[in-house]
Amino acid sequence: MMKKLSGLLVLMFGFFLAGAQDIHTSQFTMTPLLLNPASSGGLYTRDVVVTHRNQWSAVTNPFKTFIVAANTRFGDANKAKRGFWGAGLLAFNDKAGDANMRTNAVGLNAVYHIRLSQYQHLGFGLQGMYMSRFVDFSKLQWGSQYDGSAHNAALNSGETATQQNFGFADVNAGIYYTLNNTSAEVNVIDNNFRQLNLGAGFQHITTPNYAFGSDTFEEELYVKMVLHGNALWSLPNSSLALAPNFAFYKQGPHENLNVGSLVRLAISGNSKYTGLVKNYAVYGGLNYRFGDAIITTGMIEYSNFQFGLSYDFNVSKLAVATAGRGGVEFNFRMCFASSKVRTLTSGIK
């Protein structure tokens, strides 16, 4: 009986959380477009990222999130004296709980990056999105359907002012700073990375109305502010680099802070016949999402590909109901570099 009650509490909490806040990822540095619409074209010339997250597997129907993001720059950004344009596409599907509550979204963004120096630029981005939500009320159990001994689905729920789906347009904006010593016509082949990203994203700035209810019951989606940053900084005279990161979210009364770091070990190999360089590296580290989870992350980097796997160990009060099981998250990134890259050793100039 206690186990069933705990499971019910998890579902109720999840229903509220999904309705009150946006989706989030543990490996947020792999999905910067989810944080900030000004990130497109900031660090990578072109890239595609696929994310899959499965959360609270101890619950009968885990929360599942699938995300696809694509980013690009326009023109030859290395020769642009004043700045360059970037753009991105973001789409995701999120499914939560026994009521099959789903959120679907697709958005396009445009960014202009102002060049501050050869290795630094500042981007300003705007994003338009369309979001839709669906819930199956027939799968929920209501107090009025209790017949004195058990739940009876044949009884009338008494709920009349409900709608199963709705959609709305949304607008997001952001600012994004990038320092990258592998930019311009230079590619680092030794362990000499100096990369830093800092940004502020503002989502739902039009505070759209949404609610699973009648026209007389409406609720505004809170504006969400995201402050975030990450770096990749090599340690002198070693094959190691540190990759610290943080993300702070504030949406209405809800706040969340995720902070941690990975360690990168570089393992490089040169082609005997072509002279091309294939970069190999492995990452490992920890993050802490305050009051919620300890996150372990491992990553493999090969040439233009990155594979990331993380697991959330739940440490909140829900740990009893979830049996301590948090979320499994997989990320895959494919980067498309410029065809006119010179293989040289670089530093900040």
Tokens 């705007």 sit on residue:
126
Q: Which residues of the chain have pLDDT under 70?
A: 1-21, 56-61, 77-78, 138, 141-143, 145, 147, 152-154, 157-163, 183-191, 211-218, 268-278, 317-325, 337-349
| Cα gap 84→78, rounded to integer Å | 9
What pLDDT does 236 receive? 86
| Cα gap 127→86, rounded to integer Å | 12
What pLDDT does 183 receive? 65
pTM: 0.82
Segments of 181-237 assigned E as strands: 186-187, 194-203, 209-210, 219-220, 224-234
The amino acid that residue 326 corresponds to is G
Tokens 């979830």 sit on residue:
322
What pLDDT does 218 receive? 58
What pLDDT does 192 receive? 78
DSSP 145: G
What pLDDT does 213 receive? 61
What pLDDT does 237 receive? 84
What pLDDT does 80 receive? 72
Q: What is the dihedral of CA 157, 163, 164, 165, to 10 degrees?
A: -170
The amino acid that residue 203 corresponds to is Q
Phi and psi at residue 263, in whole multiples of 5°?
Answer: -115, 130
Are the CB atoms for 55 and 23 separated by under 8 Å?
no
Q: For the chain, how big is the Rg over CA atoms in Å?
A: 23
Phi and psi at residue 54, in whole multiples of 5°?
Answer: -125, 115
Q: Return the number of other C-beta atoms located less than 10 Å from residue 117's C-beta.
A: 9
Nearest-CA neighbor of 280 among 253, 319, 306?
A: 306
Nearest-CA neighbor of 262 among 302, 309, 227, 314?
A: 309
Q: Return the number of other C-beta atoms located less than 10 Å from residue 149's C-beta.
A: 6
DSSP 151: B
| Cα gap 167→203, rounded to integer Å | 16
| Cα gap 172→88, rounded to integer Å | 13
Domains of the chain as residue ranges with CATH: 2-143+168-343 (2.40.160.40)
| Cα gap 69→333, rounded to integer Å | 9
Are the CB atoms for 66 and 52 separated by under 8 Å?
yes
Question: In what helix (H) or strand (E) does residue 176 lie, and over which residues does it extend?
Answer: strand 165-180
Question: Got the DSSP string for 220-234?
Answer: EPPPEEEEEEEEEEE
What pLDDT does 83 receive? 92
Residue 85 in tokens: 């344009």
What pLDDT does 255 receive? 92
Q: What is the dihedral of CA 275, 331, 92, 286, to 10 degrees?
A: -130
What pLDDT does 2 receive? 36
